[in-house]
Amino acid sequence: MAQVDGSIRLTLLKTGATVGLTALLVFVLRWVLGFLPQLDAITGGHAGGDVLRFLASNGHAQAQQGVAIALIVFCFALAVLVVHAAERILRRRRSRR
């Protein structure tokens, strides 16, 4: 019975870590995107503006929602990979002890 409790705790911990990391990645992505116009001003380029125009999807709300969903799914997938990798690293360290 102790294994079941540990499994539930581990699942809850991994779920919380994945959700928290996803939120953190979305926050960082929004911060980076907000910094792009300043980067263009510093470099004299227009790559940041091009990225923002692409993400804005020419003002079409449905396309903007699609881009937003894709970015959130990307952040979630990245968070899942990071949590999975962290779990594997921790298990290897424990098995070496």
pLDDT digits (tens, 9 = 90+) for 25-37: 999 999 988 888 8
Two structure tokens written together for 16: 């919380």
AA identity, residue 48: G
Report the candidate in 66, 87, 67 with the shortest Cα–Cα distance to residue 21: 87
What per-residue confidence (pLDDT) applies to 81? 98
- Structure confidence at residue 24 (pLDDT): 97
pLDDT value at residue 5:
55
Positions of the chain with pLDDT lower than 50, given as ranges: 1-2
pTM over 0.85, yes/no? no
Domain residue limits, the chain: 2-96
Predicted confidence at residue 1, as pLDDT, reads: 42
Which pLDDT belongs to residue 96?
A: 82
- Compute the distance between CA of residue 25 and CA of residue 75 in angstroms, rounded to an integer: 6
Q: What is the pLDDT of residue 52?
A: 84
